[in-house]
Amino acid sequence: MRVRLGHPVPVGAGWVAFLGADPPHVRLGVDEPGGAETVAWYAPGDVLTVGGTRWRVRSTSPPPRLAADAPPGAAGDHVVAVLVPADDALSRGPGPRRGP
């Protein structure tokens, strides 16, 4: 599952969106089917749950540098995080760093 810069991506019944970067951390918003929104920082190896399914952050990538007057949506296809299904061993890894 690739989380992209310019739009939320559906993950099962939920949605994940990119909300910030502090390399190697990325700030991801998770919108659960019931409407509950959570936001947290994640680094490679962290695990998050979306729609009842657990995913591990395999890699992160900061957004490219854009001009100040870049049109809205520019570079929206850039992949900022790659999520893979979490198996039992990996899911015991570190959790997310909670942010504001």
Partner 1 sequence: MAERPVQDAVQALTSLRAAARAELDVLRVATAVRAAGVTARLPAAAAAGLPAAAGLPAAACLPDGVAVPLVAAVDSAARSSLEAIDAEARRLRRLLHETPQPGRRSPFAGPPPPVAGGPAPALGPPTPGLAEEPELAGGARYAEHPLTLPDTVGPELARQGCISDCHLVAALCTVAGRAPWLLPSVSAVDGAVLVDVPGRRYRLRPTLPVDDATGRLAYAHSPDGSTLVPYVEKAYAVYGGGYHVLGQGGLPVEALYWITGRPSYLLRVPKAGDDLVAELIESGQPVVACSRPLGADEAGAAAALRYRLAPVAHAYAITGLDEERRVLLHNPWGRWHPRPVPLDVFAELFTRIDWCETDDD
- The amino acid sitting at 20 is G
Nearest residue to 53 via CA among 93, 95, 13: 13
Q: Does 10 bind partner 1 (CB under 8 A)?
A: yes
Q: Which of 33, 37, 79, 95 binds partner 1 (CB under 8 A)?
A: 37
Q: Does 17 bind partner 1 (CB under 8 A)?
A: yes
- Please state, in angstroms and rounded to a whole number, the distance separating the CA atoms of residues 88 and 72: 40
Tell me if 47 sits within 8 A of 87, measured CB to CB: no
Give least dist CB 98 to partner 1, A.
13
Q: Which of 15, 25, 40, 50 binds partner 1 (CB under 8 A)?
A: 15
- Cα-Cα-Cα-Cα dihedral sign, residues 63, 94, 12, 1: positive
Give least dist CB 14 to partner 1, A.
10
Positions touching partner 1 (CB under 8 A) are 4-10, 15, 17-22, 27, 29, 31, 37, 62-63, 65-77, 99-100
